[in-house]
Amino acid sequence: MRAQFILGEIGSGLRRNLSMTISVILVTFVSLTFVGAAALIQMQIGKLKDDWYDRVEVTVYLCPNDSPAPTCAAGEATEDDIAGLQTVIDDELGEQVERVYVESKADAFAAFQERFPDGYMSVPLTEDDMQASIRLKLVDPETDYVVVSDVLTGRPGVESVEDQRAIFEPLFLALNRASLIAAGLAGVMLLAAVLLITTTIRLSAFSRRRETSIMRLVGASNVFIQLPFLLEGAIAAVIGALFAVGGLYVGVQYLVTDWLAQSVSWVAYVDGTDVLFVAPALIGIAFVLAAISSVVTLRRYTRI
Amino acid sequence: MIRLENVTKVYARGARPALDDVSLEVERGEFVFLVGASGSGKSTCLRLVLREERPSAGKVFVAGRDLSNLSSWKVPELRRKIGIVFQDFRLLPNKTVFENVAFALQVIGKRRHTIQLEVPEVLEMVGLGGKEKRRPHELSGGEQQRVAIARAYVNRPPILLADEPTGNLDPTTSMGIMRLLDRINRTGTTVVMATHDEDTVNQWRRRVVELSDGHVTRDQAEGTYDSSRRVRDMTPAPDAVTVGDA
């Protein structure tokens, strides 16, 4: 009896305020899409970091023949310089460096020929044009680079120390900013959603004030009086959240899986599974928002 | 059943109190008319009993409970023991007679078969048998008030409050409503009726409590509307408290 009665009340409430219900659904839909997008961008950044930071290395470029760098005044790096650097790496950077690999000019030339079989921009290059380097794989590229760079920069035979990670930084920066913008818009939209839910519930409570006043007089419990309103807001918001999940799923499918992943295939992307991972959080946010705005509103409008 | 002890109610700070040090006791099964001019504090009395208001000072007891320390989540339980009827009926226009009465039971979580049993019985009792499917606007004022009484009484509360129930009705119809309230009173229900209806009060000769500017100015068994007539009647008051305790 109770459940049936409450469901009936909810149904009639939602129908009576149809336009408001639809606007609540749409606003939560849009706002949670932004929330979800921000979350997905963050997940994408995480995936890129996992994926690339495993591969990136710190490159210690050794002095070539005629480098203008002051540390290379003594000319090309000698075998002794390289051995000295390796000792330094072993002794001082044992904790930070996971793996060391010395790329000689011959190795560099072989890699070059593999990549550009016809010469770079039609300029034929020889082995002598290549630069030898020491490649370091760090245990934790996020924090250890500074230490490694401090220790090795300026040593004899070292022209420069370069963190490959720096190449990706602008990309991460752009993605981070995009997710911040999405989160900012999400915040504004969520505020709009809260205000709208509040107004909707207020309208609903007002249009049913006769019923609620009678309910109070005949001794209906607070929960019984407020639950229909509470659930009305929550149902509308959760429907909005489901739309947001659907929208994000379709978006990721078309934009990322079917398009971006096809054209640039060498990185890991977020996919439908990640959207489903975000989904419970979005639905939870919708429910909590609706519940909070309901409780605040109802406290004022259906007081015992 | 209902006891007000030195109750004062001030609505706005500094304003004249709606009730000023009022003490009043209504026994189980009594029928009491609450009379007095508009603004004399009749409605405030009823609202205090329903705990729609809390007294500014003094204590209100209903069915043995001290309302001043009744927590708000227990208020619904209190209200299930009190039926209330208003001058303007307060029916739900989009519900039928049956649904209006059933609503009172639905919202306190009664089972469907209880409702199917109780509602026709109480409608029969108030004389609306066969009109279950009508909507309020299809009924006369007297019939609407009967629906309201049925709604207030369907849960068999020990107390029935009526705030000028005959205020919108003609004398003949009022008489019918009064007979109904009297019948309910005879089942042992305590009835407190705030009214302006001089004829009714004079005709029925029940206990009369007169309020004036927030004070009880008269408390008379088998009283009349006007205190001037009391002089003529010289009705003794004391034993009135047990009247109607059937």
What is the span of the domain harbouring residue A84?
57-163
**Chain A, chain B: beta-carbon pairs less than 8 Å apart:** 62
- Listed residues A131, A163, A195: the one ending a domain: A163
The residues in A 174-213 lying below 8 A from B, measured between CB atoms, are: 210-211, 213
Measure CB to CB from residue A214 to each of B73, B92, B110 and give the nearest one: B92
Q: What is the pTM of this model?
A: 0.70
> Same structural domain for residues A177 and A293?
yes
From first to last of the 246 residues of chain B, give the pLDDT tens digit: 899 999 999 988 778 889 999 999 999 999 999 998 888 889 999 999 999 889 999 999 998 889 988 888 889 999 999 999 999 999 999 899 999 999 999 888 888 899 999 999 999 999 999 999 999 999 999 999 999 999 999 999 999 999 999 998 999 999 999 999 999 999 999 999 999 888 889 988 899 999 998 999 999 888 888 765 544 444 444 444 444 343
Nearest residue on chain A to B49, alpha-carbon basis: A217
> Same structural domain for residues A193 and A280?
yes
Which of chain A's residues have a Cβ under 8 Å away from the Cβ of B78? 219
> Same structural domain for residues A38 and A105?
no
> Same structural domain for residues A190 and A173?
yes
> Same structural domain for residues A110 and A212?
no
| Structural domains in chain B, sorted by start | 26-54+66-81+158-246 (3.40.50.300), 86-156 (no CATH)
Residue spans of alpha helices (H) in A125-208: 141-152, 165-207
Mutate one of A7, A213, A217, A229 to test the B interface: name it (highest B CB count within 10 A).
A217
Nearest residue on chain A to B74, alpha-carbon basis: A221
CATH number of the domain encompassing residue A89? 3.30.70.3040
Per-residue pLDDT tens over the stretch A205-231: 888 888 888 988 888 888 888 888 888
CA distance B48 to B5: 12
- Listed residues A136, A163, A190: the one ending a domain: A163
Nearest residue on chain B to A216, alpha-carbon basis: B76
CA distance B244 to B29: 6
CA distance A232 to A10: 6
DSSP letter for A123, please.
B
> Same structural domain for residues A267 and A222?
yes
What is the DSSP annotation of chain B? -EEEEEEEE-SSTTSPPSEEEEEEEE-TT-EEEEE-STTSSHHHHHHHHTTSS--SEEEEEETTEEGGG--GGGHHHHHTTEEEEETT----TTS-HHHHHHHHHHTTT--HHHHHHHHHHHHHHTT-TT-TT--GGGS-HHHHHHHHHHHHHTT--SEEEEESTTTTS-HHHHHHHHHHHHHHHHTT-EEEEEE--HHHHHHH--EEEEEETTEEEEEETT--S-HHHHHHH----GGGGGTT--
> Same structural domain for residues A78 and A219?
no
> Same structural domain for residues A61 and A182?
no
Per-residue pLDDT tens over the stretch A167-220: 777 888 888 898 899 889 888 988 988 888 888 888 888 888 888 889 888 888
Residue the block writes with tokens 């909707």: A200
When divided into structural domains, chain A yields a total of: 2
> Same structural domain for residues A185 and A297?
yes
Mutate one of B79, B106, B108, B115 to test the A interface: name it (highest A CB count within 10 A).
B106
> Same structural domain for residues A66 and A203?
no
> Same structural domain for residues A229 and A87?
no
> Same structural domain for residues A129 and A191?
no
